[in-house]
């Protein structure tokens, strides 16, 4: 609880104009993009630099007040919901692109930079930052780093983790540390850069990041492969990779998703087929053309009823935008949209899609499935209504079965959304008790007073997924 003494200390650090404990101000930051989680913070604070964050953390550490760093709150694991109260920390003053270094191919940013703004700026210099979470229009780089965000280009280019070269971060005790640098190789001590990436704000507060860039591919082509059989689509994915082609994007949408997306985007997507693969390749033009031709052949051989190349970059961009809008489109169906990211080895996609359909039938639910087929990262999505207790119980049971199935197939409970509060009860499925104990030991070592985003990643109790706490 933030008492008057703590409040005064915090205001003396950031100024009254950057401290807000009005009811309206707190309400705005009482939830994030995750359905059904809400909890009021005691205050919202907007520091201007790492030094101020260091001072804030010292106050929080000595008083035991929770602190929840938050970018744009687009995460889907309730990772930025202040479930234990305390202070929500915003980066609105720390949103600058500090440097684009064309000789070392790096960009150095503050955490509050909007992902797409940065991508546009580096692309204007002929450089490329590949991680592209669907929320990139509004997400921040700091949020992406904390969640280790993925996206559509993960298969070929990797995820956020693969592009973070160095960080400045403030630890719970107020120490400011720097990890890595503009260095392709650095083995000086443990890999704290990657320990912080994806740690969901529970180990430190990131205040600056140096990211790796690569040359912008010189060309790109996009195509759609249509299937009347889900399994044929899934097998095409495996076959493409086994034929040693790594496309830039290999997205899967099932029929229910297609219908909803077309209804939303109105770009002429086929809705009379069972599944679609959205396939892109980028690189030197000769290579792109060769790969697209080979992939079209593979898809046809695996039973695609049609393979259509986008006629123009405008048409391709429309397809990509439609795909990125899948969550927004699905969210229009019912008041509560539960979107998950169970992930399996790509050879198991056909089995996973089949299992999702069976589970959805078993519980009388309508689950739409789409996602990053190329990296086995599926998004089974259930439009539901949180006010319908019976339905929500069935949703909960269905997703538990989906997670168990993913683990059984060698997969994981979360490919790119993070654990947060949402997946915490299932973490043991993936890590076992020994794995969780080891991670908790690291958390306790770096944050002994448990002030950094407490209640996230590690579950307090088991198996209560959809908590309504308003």
Task: Output 203 or 319, the one with its CB closest to its own copies.
Answer: 203
Site string for its own copies, 195-234 (x = CB under 8 A): x-xxx---x----------xxx------------------
Residue from the set 245, 277, 298, 322 that interacts with its own copies by CB under 8 A:
245
Among 431, 449, 450, 467, binds its own copies (CB under 8 A): 431
Q: Which of 17, 23, 24, 190 binds its own copies (CB under 8 A)?
A: 190
Interaction residues for its own copies, span 281-310 (CB under 8 A): 283-284, 286-287, 290
216 or 305: whose CB is closer to its own copies?
216
Near its own copies by CB under 8 A: residue from 346, 379, 394, 405: 346
Contact call for residue 438 and its own copies (CB under 8 A): yes
Name the residue nearer to its own copies (CB basis): 103 or 390. 103
Q: Does 18 bind its own copies (CB under 8 A)?
A: no
Residue whose tokens read 């086994």 = 242
Contacting its own copies (CB under 8 A), which of 442, 460, 463, 470?
442
By CB under 8 A, is residue 314 in contact with its own copies? no
Does 434 bind its own copies (CB under 8 A)? Our answer is: yes
Size of site (CB under 8 A) for its own copies: 93
Nearer to its own copies, 144 or 255 (CB): 144
Spatial separation of the C-alpha atoms in residues 221 and 126, rounded to whole Å:
18
- Helix 349-362 vs helix 389-408: angle between axes, to the nearest 10 degrees? 150
Taking the least distance from each CB to its own copies, the nearer of 23 and 189 is 189
Site for its own copies in 149-168 (CB under 8 A): 150, 154-155, 158-159, 161-162
Give yes or no for residue 100 binding its own copies (CB under 8 A): no
Q: Considering only residues 387-426, where is the footprint of its own copies by CB under 8 A?
A: 410-419, 423
Subset of 52-81 contacting its own copies (CB under 8 A): none
Q: Which positions from 113 through 152 interact with its own copies, judged by CB under 8 A?
A: 126-127, 147-148, 150
Of 24, 188, 312, 461, which lies in the binding site for its own copies, with binding defined by CB under 8 A? 188
Say whether residue 99 binds its own copies (CB under 8 A): no
In this complex, which beta carbon is closest to its own copies, that of residue 115 or of residue 336? Answer: 115
């Amino acid at each position: 609880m933030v008492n008057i003494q703590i409040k005064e200390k915090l205001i003396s650090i950031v100024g009254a104009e950057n401290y807000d404990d009005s009811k309206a101000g707190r309400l705005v930051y009482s939830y994030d993009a995750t359905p059904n989680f809400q909890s009021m913070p005691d205050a919202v604070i907007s520091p201007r630099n790492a030094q101020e964050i260091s001072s804030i953390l010292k106050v929080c550490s000595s008083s035991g007040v929770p602190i929840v760093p938050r970018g744009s709150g687009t995460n889907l694991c309730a990772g930025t919901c202040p479930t234990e109260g305390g202070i929500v920390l915003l980066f609105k003053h720390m949103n600058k692109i500090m440097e684009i270094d064309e000789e070392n191919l790096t960009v150095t940013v503050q955490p509050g930079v909007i992902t797409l703004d940065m991508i546009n700026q580096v692309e204007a210099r002929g450089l490329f930052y590949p991680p592209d979470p669907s929320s990139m229009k509004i997400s921040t780089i700091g949020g992406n780093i904390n969640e280790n965000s993925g996206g559509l280009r993960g298969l070929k280019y990797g995820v956020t983790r693969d592009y973070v070269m160095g960080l400045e971060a403030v630890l719970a005790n107020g120490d400011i540390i720097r990890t890595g640098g503009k260095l392709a190789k650095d083995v000086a001590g443990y890999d704290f850069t990657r320990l912080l990436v994806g740690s969901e704000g529970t180990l430190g507060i990131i205040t600056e990041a140096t990211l790796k860039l690569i040359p912008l591919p010189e060309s790109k082509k996009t195509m759609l492969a249509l299937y009347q059989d889900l399994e044929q689509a899934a097998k095409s994915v495996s076959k493409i990779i086994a034929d040693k082609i790594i496309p830039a994007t290999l997205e899967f949408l099932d029929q229910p998703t297609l219908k909803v997306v077309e209804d939303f985007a109105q770009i002429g997507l086929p809705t009379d087929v069972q599944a679609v693969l959205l396939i892109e390749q980028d690189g030197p033009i000769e290579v792109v053309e060769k790969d697209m031709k080979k992939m079209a052949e593979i898809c046809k051989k695996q039973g695609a009823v049609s393979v259509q190349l986008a006629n123009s970059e405008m048409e391709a961009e429309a397809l990509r935008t439609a795909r990125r809008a899948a969550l927004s489109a699905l969210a229009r169906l019912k008041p509560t949209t539960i979107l998950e990211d169970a992930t399996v080895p790509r050879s198991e996609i056909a089995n996973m899609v089949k299992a999702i359909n069976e589970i959805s039938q078993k519980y009388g639910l309508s689950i739409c499935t789409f996602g990053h087929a190329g990296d086995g990262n599926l998004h089974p999505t259930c439009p539901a209504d949180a006010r319908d207790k019976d339905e929500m119980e069935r949703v909960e049971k269905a997703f538990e079965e989906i997670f168990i199935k993913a683990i059984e197939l060698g997969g994981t409970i979360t490919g790119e959304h993070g654990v947060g509060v949402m997946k915490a009860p299932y973490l043991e499925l993936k890590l076992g008790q020994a794995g969780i104990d080891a991670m908790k030991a690291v958390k306790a070592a770096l944050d002994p007073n448990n002030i950094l985003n407490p209640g996230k990643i590690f579950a307090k109790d088991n198996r209560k997924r959809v908590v309504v706490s308003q």
